[in-house]
Structure 1
Amino acid sequence: MSKKKLLVTGGAGFIGGNFVQYMVDKYPDYAIYNFDLLTYAGELTKHKGIEEKNNYHFVKGDIADREAIMPLFEKEKFDYVVHFAAESHVDRSITSPEVFIRTNVLGTQVLLDAAKSVNVSNFVHVSTNEVYGELDFDSTAFFTEDTPLQPNSPYSASKASSDLLVRAYHETYGLPVNITRCSNNYGPYQFPEKLMPLTISRVMNDEKVPIYGDGKNIRDWLHVQDHCSAIDLVLHEGASGEVYNVGGHNEKTNLEVVKTIINRLKKSENLIEFVTDRLGHDKRYAIDPMKLEKLGWAPTYTFETGMTQTIDWYLDNKKWWEQIISGEYKRYFDKQYSIE
């Protein structure tokens, strides 16, 4: 019997990379294909431990390149697709929105056409809670799968657009799909432009940590390994055409997150520097994951255990992130935050 073939797009990034490792280890009888363009946020050193495994394959390519995607699907006849590949940083979407439209919208449409052409068993589109917009600070409301889409940034608008394309391919063509919408992820191998690794790397170097506005914006934090197990469950058990929210039950202000890291590293809170707020900065995200929990999922990491593991990982893997924060990324950081 031939192996099931799973294509993971964006498998050299943060969440996709963790998912590739999770699946390669859990399903030795699957052939796992990691498809990634290796842009600034994608790198393969994280996969050194699985590169020699027979069930892991890497293919470099652009999801928006139809002339590359269609022959790949025709050759391999993938059974499953889990689609992570996306431009994902809100700040970058504000300065260069056209890049996000090409990758997140047009790229998704190319993948959907390819998946339809080979009759995949399931196409899981990994999205974000940011497509729902924002919640009030003092609200007890949560995002559910029925919350209207009201994106507030070019990034979240591009993800909402791709969500709607995925839905349309299910309704129009009968393509088996699921959409997952997650809260803010954290954990090993996250690119240092995101809040937690940015804070850890700068605090370890006794550098100022920029916080937008007053730092009171609230996010629901989800450990990346809990996210991986959720996607695995949806891939195999999700009802076709359904959306599943993935949340960690860990609402924290950005300032709370930064102070937690500073205190764990025994540094001074004087390293905090408040900077001009982000344009269209959403107040609060909070997810109700009840629908997914009824399917059998539950997070295994508390915020405290997850933070400890994450900080320890960055302490133990300083060489990995040090090479990333030099060069092009440093120039971007200095321009974005305008601090020394």
Structure 2
Amino acid sequence: MVTMSDVAQVAGVSQTTVSHVVNKTRRIAPETERAVAAAIEATGYLNDGIAKSLRTGKTHSIGLAISAMSNPYFGEVVHSIEKHVTDLGYSLLLADTHDDPDRELRAVRDLLAHRPDGIILAPSADPQEALRQISRRKIPTILIDRVPEHLDPSQPVDAIGVENTEPTAELVRHLAERGHRRIAMVSGRPGLRTTVERVNGYLLGLRQAGLGVDETLIRDGHSEAEPARQAIKALMALESPPTALITGNNQMTIGAMAALRDLGLQVPDDIALVAFDDFPWADLFHPRLTVMAQPIEELGTLAAEMLFQRLREPDLKPREVRLSPRLIVRDSGGTGI
């Protein structure tokens, strides 16, 4: 097996210098660092992270449990977190929860088996067992996107998400100002904090616009494209269908657009459509989509920063941070009816 001593001999430096280069524990002259890097490449040396973790109690890894594969929004969050984590010399361990409590629990257990120094979790509708598993290990944790109603002051858990209630109300007001009185809401997966807050925002917006609540105009899209597609078709089959739609996330927006296409309805001529979540390609659609854009890069970066701050200061009180999304008015809300 190739050792650090072998690398030092090939590079013509001391074993201590090799250790400083590998573990980034001291600044080394650039030419010496290049020589060590070349020697590592030539010898095939692998740093023994397991042995190091046994000595220090640290693995220099961060666990991320999130529904990354099924939601492009979370994919962008992962990219932002990964960049910050790796810039600080840590590895990112990714586990997909599929927004399901059972799979979330398995994902968290898999991460814990790798002994990460911290965990970032986008909690499901029922994350309590997963959080209990983390709590037993007393691992610093950040909850991202879905902020719980109450944080346990006895646990090293922080939370970061976006404001949902007032921004959703703003989407309702945007449509009401254009003359819409039958405004429907396609909501996300039941039980998720984001779903609850966005539905509350929809109801708030109706009150602010002086509109009554019609329960038939609130449909569950389950945060996914196909359920949202079916929800839109049910809404449009009503005796008095809506003239405007609000979708609660980007996946449901895709389902809504598919349903309207199936029904031969044009946006915004036949019906207005606005969405919570922006897309990288939302400005390329015809019509261009009006959206409530979340600060995705900032969300991921701040989640990582908060976690590393807690790693440095484990006795911090639990913190909750909310970021403000931004209304981007394009064409899909129409100009008025």
Q: TM-score scaled by structure 1?
A: 0.39
- TM-score for both structures, normalised by structure 2: 0.39
